[in-house]
Amino acid sequence: MRKPAPRSHWHAKGALLALALAVGVLALFLPYGTAKADAPPFHISYGVTASNNVAGNPADLHHVFNVGDDPWPAAMFENQVTFDPPEWGLAAGSSVPTGAVVGKLISDTMLGWFNNPCAATYGGQLVIDFDPVLNCSTNTAVTVTFAQQFGDTNSNGIPDGCDKYPDFLNTMFPGLTPVARYASFEWLSSIWTSVNFVAFDTGTTLDLPGYPDPSGLGYPSVSVVNDPTGPLVPDQITDLCPPLSTDTYDYAFTLDNPNTTGVDESGYVWRTNPELPGTYSFTCWSTSFRDADNDDYDNDIDTCPHIANNGDARVLYSGDADGDGLDSACDPNDADNLRDPDGDGFPNRQDNCPLVSNTSQDDTDLDGIGDACDQDDWNNDGDTTDPGEPTGFDSATPDGEYAEVTTTDDILISSVSVGGLAELPDVSDSSSRTYIALAGLAAAALVALGAGAWYTRRRWPS
């Protein structure tokens, strides 16, 4: 498996209760410059609801982002950015106490474990709650490293990665200071994992291929899992597939952080409806991974990205007689059952060059195929007749096209209330403090265990 990015992600656990009158009709998934001719199938859905529709009122938001798998094969997303309408109120991070609880995230995705296929029979789903999500510092001059962010050096009950700014975010967003940053730090599968949600000012342009014109779209929000600038290391999750879904929630008002003493962070307004009645559009932009050989398995899951598979990548032994994760289309010996034939420590389904040793997993062109094999000569032996070695590829040319989809969801804001608050699951007992979705967090819902994510999925080049 080609792992240019982290190996985990998030989930939206079922549809949330749509508010009786607070609107938000799930958009039909109309593509925004959708799929180029050779792009893989890419099934995206997105929706947002609010807890009330009164102009100027604090209100909860709930975003749902899904990557579907029907029909299969279907590509996973590489990039995703959500835009809140510019009229929607978002409290500046500096106006709310650091460490205040502002929301939560629930993620659910399909995984392959220990070099098994990404299917329920051999792998399984991972459901993770990132709870609580805290308001964190946006001071880009006072930083901590990835490892330091999980500590609490001043014993104030707030992780150092919240009190200070993670240095890898400066590397990823040079010269940019977010309007707000929210983060969650969780102990998952014997390893600390962080998710940083970063919201930038309206009109901010981000360095992503195909990034839409941000004019008028609102606050771009992105999410970063762990440290994408750090090295990749082998871990137990070796495959990642649709379906993936995420429920992201934000509070209208902040809640108190129970880990702090002597301070009450509750009651600060975090999100408010637009001041004027009208219809307001939320936008979700996303792109898929590429598919070099047009077999509808994206490069990130395809262990033979340069030649069409003989079997189904999600079924054990399908086109893979020895069950080592390499399809027979490129397996030099489909009876040897070598799960790491190149000896670099990354099993085949996790290795972005399974037949060429590459401990760095470098992927300069971010196409899901490692530099070590992203060229005419599959294994640099001067022989282009080896199994799975086509011609016409080189490290400077992205392999395959990506599908690009933009969806919108509208919320109608009125001058007077047209109904009561809908009850959302797992909310606090205060009617003014229900959960709402953090814009842009939906895509973040993937949990990368021991890896990193760039806008959740993109591998940062070394």
Q: Specify the long-range contacts of residues 305-314, CB closer than 8 Å, at least 24 apart.
A: 305/2, 305/368, 305/369, 305/399, 305/400, 306/330, 306/369, 306/378, 306/388, 306/389, 306/390, 306/393, 306/399, 307/388, 307/390, 313/73, 313/117, 313/118, 314/72, 314/73, 314/117, 314/118, 314/119, 314/241
DSSP character at residue 160 = H
Query: What would the two tokens of residue 350 be?
Result: 């996790």
Distance between CA 203 and CA 174 in Å, rounded?
A: 16
Q: Is 373 exposed, middle or buried (0-12, 13-18, 19+ CB in 10 A)?
A: buried
Asked if residue 360 has pLDDT above 50, the reply is yes
Distance between CA 408 and CA 410 in Å, rounded?
A: 7
Residue 114 identity (one-letter amino acid): F
Per-position b or e across 67-100, b if 16+ CB within 10 A of its CB: bbbeebbbbbbbbbbbbbbbbbbbbebeebbbbb
Query: What would the two tokens of residue 27 be?
Result: 């958009």
Mean pLDDT of 164-183: 95
Asked if residue 402 has pLDDT above 90, the reply is no
Please report which helix (H) or strand (E) contains residue 80, including its range.
strand 77-84
Distance between CA 68 and CA 44 in Å, rounded?
A: 6
Mean pLDDT of 384-399: 64
In the prediction, which pLDDT does 380 show?
Answer: 63
In the prediction, which pLDDT does 189 show?
Answer: 67
Tens digit of each residue's pLDDT (9 = 90 or more) over 81-122: 999 999 998 888 789 999 999 999 999 989 898 999 988 777
Asked if 424 contacts 437 with a C-beta cutoff of 8 angstroms, the reply is no
Do the strands 191-199 and 44-50 form a parallel or antiparallel pair, or are they unpaired?
unpaired
Distance between CA 118 and CA 345 in Å, rounded?
A: 20
Asked if residue 450 has pLDDT above 50, the reply is no
Query: Residue 451: which of 165, 193, 181 has the closest Cα?
Result: 193
Distance between CA 298 and CA 175 in Å, rounded?
A: 33
Kindly report the average pLDDT of the chain as a whole number.
Answer: 79
Which region among 33-37, 123-127, 266-270 has the lowest average model confidence (pLDDT)?
33-37
Mean pLDDT of 328-344: 94
Asked if residue 10 has pLDDT above 70, the reply is no
Per-position b or e across 413-451, b if 16+ CB within 10 A of its CB: bbeeeeeebbebeebeeeebbbbbbbbbbbbbbbbbbbb
In the prediction, which pLDDT does 446 show?
Answer: 34
Which region among 139-143, 325-329, 361-365, 388-392 has the lowest average model confidence (pLDDT)?
388-392
Which comes out higher in pLDDT, residue 389 or 85? 85
Which region among 229-238, 261-270, 389-398 has the lowest average model confidence (pLDDT)?
389-398
Asked if residue 173 has pLDDT above 60, the reply is yes
In the prediction, which pLDDT does 377 show?
Answer: 64
Which comes out higher in pLDDT, residue 431 or 244? 244
In the prediction, which pLDDT does 407 show?
Answer: 94
Asked if residue 59 has pLDDT above 80, the reply is yes
Mean pLDDT of 269-296: 93
In the prediction, which pLDDT does 395 show?
Answer: 64
Distance between CA 300 and CA 231 in Å, rounded?
A: 17
Mean pLDDT of 37-50: 88
Tens digit of each residue's pLDDT (9 = 90 or more) over 417-437: 544 333 333 323 222 222 222
In the prediction, which pLDDT does 436 show?
Answer: 27
In the prediction, which pLDDT does 314 show?
Answer: 86
Neighbours of 198 (CB within 10 A): 25
Which comes out higher in pLDDT, residue 456 or 271? 271
Backbone φ and ψ of 15, nearest 5°: -75, 140
In the prediction, which pLDDT does 389 show?
Answer: 62
In the prediction, which pLDDT does 18 show?
Answer: 19
Asked if residue 285 has pLDDT above 90, the reply is yes
Asked if residue 154 has pLDDT above 70, the reply is yes
Mean pLDDT of 297-303: 92
Mean pLDDT of 311-330: 94
Mean pLDDT of 260-272: 94
Q: 């490290």: which residue's tokens?
A: 395
Q: What percent of the chain has pLDDT over 70?
A: 77
Tens digit of each residue's pLDDT (9 = 90 or more) over 214-225: 999 999 999 888
